[in-house]
Structure 1
Amino acid sequence: MCSHYEAPASGQIALAFGARGPEQGELDLWPGYMGPFLKLALSLDDQDEATPQVELLSGSFGLIPGWSKDTKIARRTYNARSETAGEKPSFRNAWRRAQHCIIPAKAIYEPDWRSGKAVATRITRRDSEPMGIAGLWECWTNPAGEEVFGFSMLTVNAGNNELMRNFHRPEDEKRMVVILPKGLYADWLRAPAAESMEFMRQYPADRLCSEAR
């Protein structure tokens, strides 16, 4: 599970994902903070299947379902278990409607408890490229009638991943966010709900590196 990550600067996102948005520097994000995410553009040209048009938006790190009364729920919905997302009230609308998104991340942070206390650990791709994390997005309308986007990172079991199994408390299930291979970005954004689980895979441990902070 991931509750803290770094978002790349706008220029890095443009280079890695081919989408531009408002200029921003690198962001240090926690649940409820606003950060960048990518989804299919409303003006998508369905004839161009090779290079789908994507838009870079700003949303709450923590999905806000349509029935929520306020944004506080984002503090609990920043990660979604892929195995149950289609059933949970907070995520099932986005899952069933295949509201897929990609969350750009320069690094994620996880607690290493092997010493007996939590040691914050920064995890990056070994090739230094930004991560593209598979997620779900939702659009919520606040009491003032304004639309607010929110997103959640999808997770899978990581008990047999040589790197990610080292994090979180010993008694907790080992989980990790779904880091997509670059070649699957377009496929994930276009995939129908019936194919969503096909993308829910561990990212290879040897393609990641970690550093205690």
Structure 2
Amino acid sequence: MCTDYEPAQPDLFEAFTDFPVPQFEYPRETYKDYVAPILRMTAGERSTDPATFGMVPRKHIPPGVKVFDTMNARAETIGEKRSFSGAWKKLQLCLIPCSRFYEPNYETGKPVRWRIGMANGRPLAIAGLWRAWDDPEGPTLSFTMLTVNADSHPLMKRFHRPGAEKRSVVIVRPEDYGDWLCSRSTDEARSFLNLYPAEEMKAEAYPLPPRKPKGGDSDAGSFLE
């Protein structure tokens, strides 16, 4: 599960040919309910739009319903899960421009934050779904990242808790951006949901700086999976 990533900043958008450079501000690191850019086909034109990370933003979870996470959607069940099935069947596909994403590695016995990207240092695009909301301030968008099983992937199987299923986001090759976004059926869209070659990726430990607990002097740090 990817719940933390670095969206590609405007100065890197030459990697996403023909998509407009974002005309809005967004943080250099994105978590649940943060706004970041997504790439879409809108009325036959390529667009770059602000959207909230998480298909169902916290503010749209009804009162009394336990808060749930929708930053990632499993490729195997996107046609069945209520949070994602509507967007999937309508082919509301997007790309998420990304410099790097983060996952926890437990090989030391403790969760260590690792940073993952392309071996050539270029930005990447993650396959996603989007949906629209009618908010009081006007129409807004939200998105989720699509994931696939990574139990056999040389790199991505190194992440997440011991014993848990290994998952990976779906990285779309630049030459496939248009074909992915213009998929004419869910079967065609599924043909893009594959693992990316490990030899074309790079990963390294990148722990968060230690945090001092309130009222204490301890240097204990933490990673939220």
TM class, shorter-chain normalised? 0.7 to 0.9
Query: How many angstroms does 1:75 deviate by?
Result: 6.1
Q: CA 1:26 to 1:9, structure 2 compared with 1: closer, same or farther past 3 Å?
A: farther
Asked if residue 13 in structure 1 is aligned to residue 2 in structure 2, the reply is: no
Give percent identity, aligned residues only. Answer: 36
Alpha-carbon distance between aligned partners in 2 of 1:6 and 1:129, rounded to the nearest angstrom: 13
Q: TM-score, normalised by structure 2?
A: 0.83
Opposite residue 91 of structure 2, the aligned amino acid is A
Higher gyration radius (CA): 2
1:172 aligns with 2:164: yes
Q: Distance in 1 between matches of 2:202 and 2:67?
A: 28
Size of the alignment, in residue pairs? Answer: 201
Superposed CA RMSD: 2.1
User: Which residue number corresponds to residue 39 of structure 1?
Assistant: 40
Offset at residue 190 of structure 1 (A): 0.2
Please give the alpha-carbon distance, in whole angstroms, between the structure 1 residues aligned to 2:26 and 2:137. 29
Q: 1:157 aligns with which of 131, 149, 153?
A: 149
**What is the CA distance between 1:25 and its match in structure 2?**
6.8
- Letter aligned with residue 11 of structure 2: G
Letter in 2 for 1:185: Y
CA distance in 2, matches of 1:75, 1:3: 13
In the superposition, the TM-score normalised over structure 1's length comes to 0.88
| 2:138 corresponds to | 146
Counterpart in the other structure of 2:48: 56
In the alignment, structure 1 residue 135 sits paired with structure 2 residue 124: no
Contact 1:103 1:134 in 2 (8 A): yes
CA contact (8 A) 2:61 2:67 kept: no
Shift of 1:102: 0.1
Q: 1:29 to 1:145 in 2, by over 3 A?
A: closer
Counterpart residue number, 2:101: 108
Is 1:211 equivalent to 2:204 in the alignment? yes
SS in 2 for 1:206: helix
Distance apart, 1:194 and its partner CA: 2.9
Give secondary structure in 2 for the equivalent of 1:132. strand
Structure 2 regions of 5+ residues with no counterpart? 207-225
Equivalent residue, structure 1, for 2:112: 119
Question: Which SS does the other structure have where 1:90 is aligned?
Answer: helix
Shift of 1:181: 1.1
Could you say which residue in structure 2 is the equivalent of 1:2?
2
Determine the structure 2 residue equivalent to 1:79.
Answer: 72
